A and B are shown apart, each in its own frame.
Chain A
Amino acid sequence: MDISGHQHDLITARDAGMVACTSCGLVASPDVESCPRCHARMQSRIDGSIQRVLAWLLAGLILYVPANIYPMLRTTQMFKEQDSTIVGGVITLIHHHAYAIGAIIFIASVLIPVGKFIVIAYLAVLLSRPHTKDPHRLHILHAAVEFIGRWSMIDVFVVAILVALVQFDVLASIKPGLAAACFALSVVFTMLSAQAFDPRLIWDVTDKGTPK
């Protein structure tokens, strides 16, 4: 058995011929089906993880298109109806010198989702073949994506709160647009995508030539 040349001189459970429980951390012999301690399902590597990641990612990506094309909000103000898309809303906010809110919406609705798509796609593609990247960095990347992904929901919450609060009949009222549902679904799908990612794959493929 070759000892891996990790910079931290770590061996993985798989290197040690064991399987670790992702739920409670117990290391057990690889032939057990479920964790003897917490009865969680034991898998050395989640089967078809990359496939799932890519599938969810694609679904999220597809829904992100109508989320940007169609209006997020339909504002009715004194007989005037105005539709605003995500980017259009940001531009409007900036025109009204609400730079902070504009920046928040822009980051939450554009930068984070787009960044997430790129990062997940990068990880998935990278890990499906041999690579020589620093696994620690990849871990940080994965952790960041998982953590930050949920903040994309900010825009959906903004819409939900506005729609609930601003209902003054003729004077002003706000209705959610088609994009709100698409965007929410897109965020959910990319979060599922990040979750489907098995971070243990990062260890497997480093400088070993072939995935095991």
Chain B
Amino acid sequence: MSKIAPDLSNLPSPKLEKHSRRPSLIWLMPFLALAISAGVVWNNYASKGPLITITFKSASGIVAGTTEVRIRDLRVGVVEAVGFSEGMEAVEAQIRLDKNIARYVDTEAEFWIVEPKVTARGVSGIGTLLSGVYIAANWDGKDGVRADRFVALDVPPLASFGEEGTRIVLKARAGGQLAAGAPVLTSGIEVGRIGQPKLSSSGTTVTMDAFILKPYDARLTTNTRFWDASGLSFNLGAQGIALKVDSLAALLEGGVTFGTPVTGGGPVADGHVFDVFASQSVARTKAFEADASPDISASILLDTDVNGLGLDTIVRFRGVKVGGVEDLVGIENVVKGPVKLRVDLRLSSKRLGLPGGLSSDKVRALLDSRVANGLRVRVSAEGLFGQTVVLELVNLPSQAKAEITLDPDGRIMLPTAPAAVPDADTGVNGLVTRISNLPIEELMTAATQALNNVSKLTGTAESVLTADGVDRIPQTIDRTLQEVRALVTAIRDGGAIENLNATLRSADSALKSVDSAASSLPALANRLNAAADGLQSVVSGYDSDSRFYTDIRGVLRDISSTAESFRSLARSIERKPNSLLLGR
């Protein structure tokens, strides 16, 4: 081909293929892409669980997209958004739950925030220091009524699902040191915990839920008594000082201990209400008085100031405790007058000798008749120094006539009698008098005398030993024996006769000295007796059980027997002077 300038006009026309209008297979690709996208979206959507809303008081560290919801530390969801509820009263968190557990979320589900916490019992939630707070959840593995709106708990629940035990209600006097989460102890073992204490509407008592774990809840009976184990118990008594701490945790955050001092109680169901007593001794005392539980309410009005009257003040009737003070309320007199103190009492009908199970009208009628006979309530004092204020139900027939009134609230108001309380001055004076009346001087005199007698006794014993002749007796006897031995030798050696006279002479002199010694023996014995008598008088001043007395008695016996042997020695010497020589 050597065409330089092609003849364009002769070129063959290209055969144009008919433009195909048929859709190409390539159009499957968008559908594939669509399928992929749809798959991705569906996969993502289908794996998403439901969205629930939890209301918190404050967000306290909840971060959208980060804060997790965990059950037993396993992630089951994540916070998607945090915002305010309507009216900005609370914080609402939208939480995306995992799909596989979502079906168990029912109305019983509980949520609360876990933050790092340092308590007396250890550090908890330390992982949240790094990861931030998380929302702990709690629900059982059963299907229930579905819910998607929840209110978070302020404090962790007492028991997580799966923890078995008994839920009880504790009622304590306000002002205790009990805090939520504080331990419940028995025999020093932590067996449960206390929920959030709630102040009653009257403000005098605090109720709280408590949870006792499974094996230990069997120890609960209706006779079980709870007492406050918070802090230290310090007891100064005749036995000395007793300091008791139940547990360090209880010392710091409070705690209650229970025990069952009385047997025979029935089993306890969930929700049983127990009183928390101030101390173990109170709890035990109350336990034994359980048969006479107070069932009558009555009130008195006091217009005098009474120091020491409080909620622990007891009511006595003829010396027997019949009830206690339930409440103290200051009320203003209707007619313009001073503020009076209304004291609400709880009395035991059994202790008052009333039949049990009476209606309040019947009780009132019975009390009315007693009041007519002079039954009054008065403030009194008891105790060693009269320092404990009690309320006394007394029969004072000499009092002016009075009757039971009903106050606007329908309380039975018992009439009162003038207080029989020594004022503070007489109390202190009484104390001083009592102390000064103690026989301290007599005691001192007796003690001095005893000491003197003891030293006298010691002197006597010495004088016995140093008395004339006594120390010489052994020497004399020794000498005599030597001479006897010499005599015997001489007899053996011959020439006995010459020596016999000498021997007899020296024996005679020995006898003489023995005689003079023996004559002093009765005097010695008498002196010993005198010493013993002196001791006897000292000893008789002591209690017959004291150790000193026993010791002294022993000494006396010894002295007597010593004196007796001196006497018998003297007698035998008088009878047979040669017995000293012959040994019989």
B33/A189 in contact, CB under 8 A? yes
A51 contacts partner chain B, Cβ-Cβ < 8 Å: yes
Residues of A within 8 A of B127 (CB): 79
Contact of A189 among B29, B40, B43, B131 (CB under 8 A): B29
A117 contacts partner chain B, Cβ-Cβ < 8 Å: no
A59/B29 in contact, CB under 8 A? yes
Task: Tell me the complex Cα distance, A9–B40, Å.
Answer: 53
Residues of A within 8 A of B17 (CB): 47
14 A-B pairs with CB atoms under 8 Å apart are A14-B14, A18-B11, A30-B14, A44-B16, A47-B17, A47-B20, A48-B20, A48-B26, A52-B24, A52-B26, A55-B24, A56-B26, A56-B29, A182-B40
Question: A16-B11, A47-B20, A52-B24 are contacts. A65–B30 as well, Cβ < 8 Å?
Answer: no
Contact of A62 among B26, B27, B30 (CB under 8 A): B30
Residues of A within 8 A of B37 (CB): 62-63, 65-66, 182
Contact with A along B1-36 (1 / 0, CB 8 A): 000001011011111110110011011111011101
Number of interface residues of A (CB under 8 A): 39
Question: A16-B8, A18-B11, A82-B65 are contacts. A55–B30 as well, Cβ < 8 Å?
Answer: yes
What's the least CB distance linking B578 to chain A, in Å?
114
Residues of B within 8 A of A3 (CB): 8
Compute the total of residue contacts between A and B using a CB distance below 8 Å: 93
A55/B36 in contact, CB under 8 A? no
B8/A70 in contact, CB under 8 A? no
What's the least CB distance linking A26 to chain B, in Å?
13
User: Would you list which residues of chain A between 170 and 212 have a CB under 8 Å from chain B?
Assistant: 178, 182, 185, 189, 196, 211-212
Residues of B within 8 A of A156 (CB): none
Question: A47-B17, A78-B131 are contacts. A60–B8 as well, Cβ < 8 Å?
Answer: no
Task: Tell me the complex Cα distance, A70–B36, Å.
Answer: 13
- Please give 7 more A-B residue pairs, beta carbons under 8 A apart, in addition to A56-B29, A81-B66: A59-B34, A62-B33, A62-B36, A63-B33, A65-B37, A82-B66, A182-B37
Question: A66-B41, A80-B131 are contacts. A60–B33 as well, Cβ < 8 Å?
Answer: yes
B130 contacts partner chain A, Cβ-Cβ < 8 Å: yes
Contact of A178 among B13, B40, B130 (CB under 8 A): B40
Residues of B within 8 A of A112 (CB): none
What's the least CB distance linking A191 to chain B, in Å?
13
B132 contacts partner chain A, Cβ-Cβ < 8 Å: yes
Ranked nearest first, the 4 interchain pairs of A and B with the lowest CB-CB distance are A79-B131, A59-B33, A58-B30, A17-B11
Task: Tell me the complex Cα distance, A212–B30, Å.
Answer: 28
User: Would you list which residues of chain A between 12 and 63 have a CB under 8 Å from chain B?
Assistant: 14, 16-19, 29-31, 44, 47-48, 51-52, 55-56, 58-60, 62-63
Residues of A within 8 A of B65 (CB): 82-83
Closest to B9 in A: A1
Residues of B within 8 A of A52 (CB): 24, 26
Number of contact residues on B: which range applies?
35 or more
Give the interface of A toward B (CB within 8 A): 1, 3, 11, 14, 16-19, 29-31, 44, 47-48, 51-52, 55-56, 58-60, 62-63, 65-66, 70, 78-83, 178, 182, 185, 189, 196, 211-212
B436 contacts partner chain A, Cβ-Cβ < 8 Å: no
B546 contacts partner chain A, Cβ-Cβ < 8 Å: no
B27/A51 in contact, CB under 8 A? yes
Closest to A14 in B: B14
Task: Tell me the complex Cα distance, A196–B24, Å.
Answer: 13
Question: A80-B132, A178-B44, A185-B36 are contacts. A55–B16 as well, Cβ < 8 Å?
Answer: no
Closest to A43 in B: B17
Residues of A within 8 A of B44 (CB): 70, 178
Task: Tell me the complex Cα distance, A63–B78, Å.
Answer: 27
A59/B32 in contact, CB under 8 A? yes
What's the least CB distance linking B144 to chain A, in Å?
30
What's the least CB distance linking A125 to chain B, in Å?
16
Residues of B within 8 A of A59 (CB): 29-30, 32-34
Contact of B33 among A29, A70, A185, A212 (CB under 8 A): A185
Task: Tell me the complex Cα distance, A52–B29, Å.
Answer: 9
Residues of A within 8 A of B26 (CB): 48, 51-52, 55-56, 196
Task: Tell me the complex Cα distance, A62–B27, Å.
Answer: 13
Closest to B33 in A: A59
Contact of B29 among A48, A55, A81 (CB under 8 A): A55
What's the least CB distance linking A176 to chain B, in Å?
13
Residues of B within 8 A of A80 (CB): 66, 131-132
A55/B14 in contact, CB under 8 A? no
Task: Tell me the complex Cα distance, A14–B17, Å.
Answer: 12
What's the least CB distance linking B575 to chain A, in Å?
112
Task: Tell me the complex Cα distance, A59–B36, Å.
Answer: 10
Task: Tell me the complex Cα distance, A31–B36, Å.
Answer: 42
Closest to A81 in B: B66
What's the least CB distance linking B131 to chain A, in Å?
3
Closest to B30 in A: A58
Task: Tell me the complex Cα distance, A81–B80, Å.
Answer: 12
What's the least CB distance linking B454 to chain A, in Å?
83
Task: Tell me the complex Cα distance, A14–B16, Å.
Answer: 10
Closest to A17 in B: B11
Task: Tell me the complex Cα distance, A80–B19, Å.
Answer: 59
Contact with A along B302-345 (1 / 0, CB 8 A): 00000000000000000000000000000000000000000000
Residues of A within 8 A of B11 (CB): 1, 16-18
B14/A19 in contact, CB under 8 A? yes
Task: Tell me the complex Cα distance, A212–B29, Å.
Answer: 27
Task: Tell me the complex Cα distance, A63–B36, Å.
Answer: 8
Task: Tell me the complex Cα distance, A52–B19, Å.
Answer: 14
Task: Tell me the complex Cα distance, A51–B41, Å.
Answer: 27
